[in-house]
């Protein structure tokens, strides 16, 4: 997966609490096992009407947020069923970072495994960044994972915490497969030793 080091991007405000995974990517789009192509259906039931036309008032349909890379959201983001398609859809749309007061555990962990940084901040700090995001395309928020800081468009800096191992994986672009491949030499040595000791296996 792509490394996450620093990000300077447009932030889209989504001031809703309890946004569940079915809202993020509705169940009818879970038939695929591909990680690509789901971005068009991100927040499908909020983005489109019954005829498939865009709802102009939805934040990601507004011109200033079509290229958003950061989502500032409400409490308990990603609750509901455990579907990895939810972070897939966010990433395919272009979202690399979500900022919220809290997340559902499975969604939170799935984000890290797919190259998305989910940041937890106190509600009052999320409120500041939500207002900042409402300024539109002229307001860019900067995320520095190494320094663990967020800088608003006005220059206000917030610090966030992140698990050191999850941070290491994002900084180095390591998903579960990548972590395994880091041990490729040791695995090869072990397999060679096993083949020599027990060739019948």
- Residue-wise pLDDT for 81-125, tens only, equals 889 999 999 999 999 999 999 999 999 999 999 999 999 999 999
Query: pTM to 2 decimals?
Result: 0.89
Which residues make beta-bridge pairs with 70? 11, 97
Is the distance from CB of 135 to CB of 102 less than 8 angstroms?
no
Give the pLDDT of residue 182. Answer: 63
Rounded mean pLDDT, 26-40: 88
Complete DSSP assignment for 28-68: GGTT---SSS-GGGTTHHHHB-TTS-B-TTSGGGSGGGTT-
The pLDDT value given to residue 52: 93
Q: What is the pLDDT of residue 183?
A: 62
Q: What is the pLDDT of residue 181?
A: 61
Can you name the CATH fold of 6-174? Aconitase; domain 4 (3.20.19)
Residue 107 near residue 81, CB atoms below 8 Å: no
Residue 166 pLDDT: 97
Could you read off the pLDDT of 186-196 as tens digits, one per residue?
Answer: 777 777 777 77
As a whole-number percent, the residues of the chain with pLDDT over 70 amount to 94
Q: How many CA atoms are closer than 13 Å to the CA of 146, on its beta-carbon side?
A: 6
Domain boundaries in the chain?
6-174
pLDDT of 2 higher than 80: yes
**Rounded CA separation 143/125 (Å):** 14
What's the average model confidence in pLDDT over 51-59? 96
| CA atoms of 140 and 148, how far apart (whole Å) | 17
C-alpha span between 133 and 121 (Å, rounded)? 15
pLDDT at 73 over 90: yes
Residue 177 CA from chain centroid, whole number: 18
Contacts of 58 (CB under 8 A, 6+ apart): 43, 46, 47
Mean pLDDT of 41-47: 97
- The residues near 176 (Cβ < 8 Å, ≥ 6 apart) are 113
User: Which one has a higher pLDDT value, 34 or 148?
Assistant: 148
Q: What is the mean pLDDT of the chain?
A: 92
Residue 177 has pLDDT above 70, yes or no: no
Closest to 108 measured CA to CA, from 163, 63, 154, 55 = 163
Summarised one tens digit per residue, pLDDT across range 154-175 is 999 999 999 999 999 999 999 7
């Amino acid at each position: 997966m792509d490394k996450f080091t620093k990000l300077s991007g447009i932030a889209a405000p989504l001031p809703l609490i309890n946004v569940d995974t079915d809202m993020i990517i509705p169940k009818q789009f879970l038939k695929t096992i591909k990680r690509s192509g789901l971005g068009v259906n991100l927040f499908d039931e909020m983005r489109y009407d019954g005829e498939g036309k865009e709802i102009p008032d939805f934040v990601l349909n507004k011109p200033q947020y079509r290229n958003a890379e950061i989502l500032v959201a409400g409490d308990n983001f990603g609750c509901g069923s455990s579907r990895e398609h939810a972070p897939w859809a966010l990433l395919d749309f272009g979202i690399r970072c979500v900022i919220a007061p809290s997340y559902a555990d499975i969604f939170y962990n799935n984000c890290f495994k797919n190259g998305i940084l989910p940041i937890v901040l106190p509600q009052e700090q999320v409120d500041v960044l939500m207002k900042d995001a409402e300024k539109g395309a002229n307001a860019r928020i900067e995320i520095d994972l190494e320094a663990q800081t967020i800088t608003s468009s006005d220059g206000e800096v917030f610090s966030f915490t992140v698990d050191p191992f999850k941070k290491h994986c994002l900084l180095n672009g390591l998903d579960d497969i990548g972590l395994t491949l880091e041990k490729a030499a040791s695995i090869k040595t072990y397999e060679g030793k096993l083949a020599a000791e027990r060739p019948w296996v």
